[in-house]
Amino acid sequence: MKNIKMDKLTKAYLDHGMISEEMTFFEKFVEGIDADEVEDYLTRLRKFSEEYIINHFRFEEEEIFPLILKYGNEKEKKMIQMLQDDHAKILKELAQFMKKVASYGTYPAREEIEDIMRSSRAVLEMVLVHARKEDTQLFPNL
């Protein structure tokens, strides 16, 4: 694994710290959705998802994972396959969440807001569990 450029690993590691902070923000953001003040919440949710989940996964899939799959040992390769599976599951859950949020329109009813909050917690938990796996199993080995 010595062939992996340190700047890519450093970026991925630092991104995890930023993602953790942003997930805290996202959780507060979703909990703070008020049916009277949600004109651009869907736009903000999409922007957040694109910047902090989708782009981060894309970076890992294109820059980090191929190097580990090429130069890593069997244990590291299996870990990457598990993390790639996580990415697929999280992206699917995120897409379903965004579809649900969009279906409620600009002014969701109180019960729809509660459903958004429940669904967002599921996505948040998946992302945080995944990030912990990378922080405890991927980065220390590299």
Q: Tell me the pLDDT tens digit for each residue of 46-92.
A: 887 888 889 889 999 998 899 899 998 999 999 999 999 999 999 99
Cα–Cα distance for residue pair 54/68, rounded to 1 Å: 20
Mean pLDDT of the chain: 78
By C-alpha distance, which of 116, 117, 120, 123 is closest to 93?
A: 123
- Asked whether the predicted pLDDT for residue 36 surpasses 70, the reply is no
Kindly state the tokens that stand for 47.
């922007």
97 within some domain = yes
1 within some domain = no
Cα–Cα distance for residue pair 107/34, rounded to 1 Å: 9
State the total domains in the chain: 1
Q: Apex CA 105: angle with CA 51 and CA 113, to 5°?
A: 80
- Owning domain of residue 31: 6-138
96 within some domain = yes
Global pTM reads 0.73
Q: Please report where in the chains the tokens 């970076």 appear, as a residue.
A: 59
114 within some domain = yes
